[in-house]
Amino acid sequence: MNRARFKRMLSMIAAFAMAVTTTHAAPIKVLALGTSLTQGLGVPPGLDLTEVLEARLKASGFDVKVINAGVSGDTSAGGLARLDWSLADHPQAAIIELGSNDALRGQSPAETEKNLSAILARLKAEHVAVLLTGMKAPRNLGPEYAAQFDAIYPKLAKQFGVLFYPFILDGVAANPKLNQADGIHPNPAGVKLIADRMMPYVKQLMLQVKH
C-alpha cells in the first residue's frame, strides 16, 4: 500500500470515528408529555418526576435529557394541541401521561381515546419510541364510565405496539403518606415511589431508541 493511499485510509477511519463519537455525544432526548403529575405541581425544584427519572437513568449509565412537557390541568386534547411544539426538540423517545383531567371532568372516554390515538399515531410516524402510562377513572363516576375509561390505555398500547405502564399512580393513589394535602398530587416520597416502579419500563424505553 502506497503512502498516499495509507493516508487516505487513516483519514477515512478518523472521520468515521468522529462521526460515531458525534452520534453518541448528544444525550437521548425524552419528551415527557403530561399533566401536573409530570410537571411536578407542589413538589420542590429538582424533585419532580422528570428530574428524578433523569437522575436515575444517568446513574444507570444512560446519557439522557428528560424534557418536562407537563402542564397542570391539561387534557388529552391539550396534549394533542401542543404536540407539534413539543416535537420541535426532536425527541427520540416519549413518555405520555395524559387523561387524568379528562376523567376528572367526566369527558367522554371515546374523545379521550381519539386524542390519545392521534398522539400515538403522530409519534409512531416520527419514529419516536413511546412509553404510555395508564390512568384510572375516579370511581364516583360509576362502574360503566370507569370500565370504558380504564380500557383505553391497554387497548391503545396494544394497537400501537408501545410500552405500557398500567397505572402511573400505582401504590400512591389514596395513600395520605404519599400525597400532598389535596389527596391528588404525589409528594416527594410519592414521586420517588412512582419513579421506582416506572424505572424498569423507562429503561426498556431507552433500549428501544435507535442511535
In tens, the pLDDT along 91-149 reads: 999 999 999 999 999 999 999 999 999 999 999 999 999 999 999 999 999 999 999 99
Please identify which of the residues 127, 185, 196, 211 carries the catalytic annotation: 185
Let me know the angle formed at the C-alpha of 96 by 126 and 113, rounded to the nearest 5 degrees.
Answer: 90
Please identify which of the residues 84, 90, 127, 182 carries the catalytic annotation: 182
Q: Which residue has the higher pLDDT, 7 or 21?
A: 7
Please identify which of the residues 11, 36, 72, 90 carries the catalytic annotation: 36
Phi-psi sector, 46: left (phi>0), alpha (psi -120 to 50), beta: left
| 150 noted as active-site residue | no
pLDDT at 63 over 60: yes
**The domain defined by 27-208 carries CATH number 3.30.300.30:** no
Mean pLDDT value of segment 157-171: 98
For the chain, the residue count is: 211
pLDDT at site 2? 61
Confidence of residue 22 (pLDDT cuts 50, 70, 90): very low
pLDDT at site 8? 62
